[in-house]
Amino acid sequence: MPLRPVAAALLTATALAFGNTAPVSATPTTAPTYASATAPTATADAAGNGLYQQVTGFGANPGNLAMYTYTPAGLPTGAPLVVALHGCLQSATDYYRNSGWTKYADLYGFAVVFPQTNSTNNSLSCFSWFDATKDTRGAGEAESVVEMLAKAKSLFGSDSHRVFVTGLSAGGGMAADLLADYPELFAGGAIDSGLPAHCATTQSAASSCQNSDQGLAPAQWGDRVRSAHPGYAGPWPRVAIWQGSADTVVKPVNATELRDQWTNAQGIGQRPTGTRNLPGGTNQELYAGPDGRPTVALFTVPGMGHGLAVSPGSGADQCGATGSYFLNAICSSYYTAQFWGLDGGTGPTSPGLPAPAGLTATASGQDSITLDWQAVGGAVSYQVFRDGALVGTTAGPSFTDTGLATGTAYSYTVAAVDTTGTVGARSAAVTATTGGAAPQCFTDTNYGQVRAGRATQTGGLTYALGSGQSMGLWTTFVTHTLKQTGPGYFVLSDGQC
């Protein structure tokens, strides 16, 4: 069965119905034309706090984009610079008005560049994150954005070491591509409801990225970043990832793939070194390097559909305005700015108590494993994670995990919880194998796996029975290995059996 067409990019008119708020409009808005200039002119923004205007003549423009900028009043030279990319069926002015970035530009002191694409480039005014002729180093829209950066630096005297890029949806996909294409230009990035860097290189492949697990290992995702600028050895930008758990336009698996991609590029593991709860139940996971400084952050907003998380209000951590794909949940711009260190800090450190030491794991039967570790001062409880997922909480430094499959290896980490409920850094992982016979492995085509009852098919796609892992198209041309780890439960194990 052919993949669902994506109507020239990421969003369709039907997809626009998803989210926490109904769309205000089903057609792209057009940014107002201010006095065109090669340098900023004294045109006040709507709030009277700074200047919002179009900048023309910014250099080569192979991507046919427009450049808009916002500069706070009295912006000094040497200030940071943020590039903010709108989503499909949006404009630069929509993002300027609704995203909340201008509030923190005023508060923290930085300039913002708002690139704008158009319906000539794409029928839905989407940035072309999926087109290898437009989103690669030195080409198309990516090159146009880099030309805007050079222009903005010359106009505002921006600090070349503090340039950041963020984007929503298709703009998020383009932001990820830019971080991979030009890692030497960006200190950090944020991908909001977006896609991994260079997930697709053609329009026909875009729908698969948008809707399903691509089945790539972290190293393969990291290779997509490394191959975008061959020979570059770092440092890599710090990356914030925002995803709504109820997003049906860009499925939440994209956030997992982004996490895998950028932790691998950074040379760190895929297990968080710290977690915390934010307003609205948003969960933040931090991934730190050996120096303890987080370089990747994953924010999951429960119940939020497709859009940019905003939180209208006057509080320090409130920003933006609701509208089409600007959803009332939490001010993502505030927490992203903090993660980048735009508030004057160096960015977050792993919160909470230190990681428990001395973790051991021993099989205590055919279906159970017992864990022990050293107690952490100040801990009121401990969380236990099996293969990255929380499986239990205990008051003391031991735990027995039961109901496991026989002859199966499991990986564990533990974290201490303090009196405020903050979950601290996770321990180093240990692995143990339950007793009994080893699980069976089955290699067959997706068609054969379904016929044998080890997988199911829905809408022409195949999913492992029990685990629900995506296996791709239901066809005799795609082959996978499934490992049975329990009655009626199979997991993808290509190259592992």
One domain for residues 415 and 458: no
Give me the catalytic one of 169, 332, 333, 470. 169
What does pTM read for this prediction? 0.66
**Rounded Cα distance, 11 and 308, in Å:** 14
**Rounded Cα distance, 478 and 204, in Å:** 18
One domain for residues 150 and 249: yes
Among the listed residues 404, 368, 401, the one whose alpha carbon sits nearest the alpha carbon of residue 382: 401
**Rounded Cα distance, 170 and 135, in Å:** 11
| Domain boundary, last residue among 399, 417, 433 | 433
User: Residue 373 corresponds to which amino acid?
Assistant: W
One domain for residues 308 and 411: no
One domain for residues 105 and 243: yes
One domain for residues 299 and 415: no
Can you give the pLDDT of all 497 residues of the chain as single tens digits?
233 333 334 444 333 222 233 222 222 233 322 223 333 344 455 454 689 999 999 999 999 999 999 999 999 999 999 999 999 999 999 999 999 999 999 999 999 999 999 999 999 999 999 999 999 999 999 999 999 999 999 999 999 999 999 999 999 999 999 999 999 999 999 999 999 999 999 888 999 999 999 999 999 999 999 999 998 988 899 999 999 999 999 999 999 999 999 999 999 999 898 888 899 899 999 998 877 789 999 999 999 999 999 999 999 999 999 999 999 999 999 999 999 999 876 555 556 787 788 899 998 878 899 999 999 988 999 999 887 778 999 999 999 999 988 888 888 889 899 888 888 777 877 888 887 766 789 999 999 999 999 999 988 899 999 888 899 999 989 999 998 877 778 888 888 77
One domain for residues 372 and 270: no
Which are the contacts of 220, defined by CB distance < 8 A and separation ≥ 6?
none
* Tally of domains in the chain: 3
Containing domain of residue 169, as a range?
Answer: 15-340
One domain for residues 298 and 428: no
What is the phi/psi pair of residue 256, to 5°? -65, -45
Told to judge if 381 belongs to the known catalytic residues of this protein, a careful annotator would answer: no
Work out the number of other CB atoms within 10 angstroms of the CB of residue 1: 10
Strand ranges of the sheet holding 398-401, from the earlier edge strand across to the other edge: 360-363, 369-372, 398-401
- Tokens representing 282? 């948003």
Secondary structure (3-state) at 363: strand
One domain for residues 377 and 304: no
Radius of gyration of the chain (CA): 24
Beta strands in 33-152 (DSSP E): 50-55, 66-72, 81-85, 111-116
One domain for residues 317 and 464: no
Place of tokens 């909001």: 192
Residue 32 CB-half CA count within 13 A = 9
One domain for residues 236 and 313: yes
Cβ(191)–Cβ(240) below 8 Å = yes
- Tokens representing 307? 């859009």
**Rounded Cα distance, 17 and 287, in Å:** 34
